[in-house]
Amino acid sequence: MFEKIIDILCEIKGEDLELRDNLTPATDLNNDVGLDSLQMIQFMLKIEERLNITIDYDEFDYIHLESIGSFIEFLQSCESKNHQYEDVKQ
C-alpha cells in the first residue's frame, strides 16, 4: 500500500525524483508533500479508485494526514469496514 501511495503522490505532484526519494512512512502529507486543496481531492479520489477502498469521511480527520503511516492505518480501518459491510450485504 505504501508504494501505491507514493506512486499516486508522485503522479499528482509530477514525477519529482527528489520527492519520491524523500517519502517515508513518517512523511507528513500536509506539510512535507505540499498538496494544495485540488491536489488533495485528486489524491483522495485516486486512493479510493486504485486501492478499491471507500474512505469513511465521517471518521476522517486531518490527524490521519500527519504521516503516510497514519494515513495507511486509517485506510486499513476503512478497508476492514468495507469488508464487514460487504459481508452483511451478502
What pLDDT sits at residue 62? 86
**What is the DSSP-derived secondary structure letter of residue 33?**
S
Mean pLDDT of the chain: 86
Q: What is the residue-wise DSSP string for 42-86?
A: HHHHHHHHHHT----TTT--GGGGS-HHHHHHHHHHHHHHHHHHH
Length of the chain: 90
For the cut 80, the answer to whether the pLDDT of residue 85 exceeds it is: no
Which pLDDT tens digit goes with each residue over 33-55? Answer: 988 899 999 999 999 999 999 99
pTM more than 0.85: no
What pLDDT sits at residue 16? 66
User: Residues 74-87: what's their mean pLDDT?
Assistant: 70
